Structure 1
Amino acid sequence: MATQIVMDSTGDSRHFFDRDDHNGLADAEQRFRKLTGKGFTAATRTAAGDLKLIRSFDPTAEETLFYPRLVGG
């Protein structure tokens, strides 16, 4: 079971999907496109535990983290 974790000002929400389920996979890809289109940064975890930024949906990722871009000034 793969997980998409969305961080925002209210905390985090988790969305689980089965990569073998075509509908679940399509929903996950749509969520990816929607969030990154809104300006969220997407990252996956490497084998060493570090985060790796991704620019396109990776259906093989075990966990994808989405966090809003920080705005400084």
Structure 2
Amino acid sequence: MATQIVMDGTGDSRHFFDQTDPVGLAKAERRFGKLTGQGYTAASRMPSGHFNLVRTFDPTADETLFYPRLVGG
């Protein structure tokens, strides 16, 4: 089960999907496009535990974190 974690001003929300289910995979890909289109940065967790920035949807990623742009004042 793969996870997309979306960080925002209220905390985080987690979206789980089965990477072998075409419907769930399509929904996750649409979510990726929507969030990155809104300016969120996406990063996937590597086996070492580190995160790498990603620019395109990776259906094999077990965990993807989305975080919003920093806003200065």
Bigger shift: residues 25-34 or 41-50: 41-50
Equivalent residue for 1:5?
A: 5
Equivalent residue for 2:60?
A: 60
The TM-score, its normalising length taken from structure 2, stands at 0.96
Equivalent residue for 2:25?
A: 25
Output the amino acid matched with 1:52: N
Output the amino acid matched with 2:44: T
Equivalent residue for 1:38?
A: 38
Instruction: Tell me the SS of whatever aligns to 2:35.
Output: helix
Equivalent residue for 2:71?
A: 71
After TM superposition, give the deviation of residue 72 of structure 1 in Å.
Answer: 2.6
Q: What are structure 2's unaligned runs of at least 5 residues?
A: none
Output the amino acid matched with 1:28: A
Runs of 4+ in 1 over 2 A off after TM superposition: none
Output the amino acid matched with 1:31: R
Partners of 1:49 and 1:2 lie apart in 2 by: 15
After TM superposition, give the deviation of residue 46 of structure 1 in Å.
Answer: 1.3
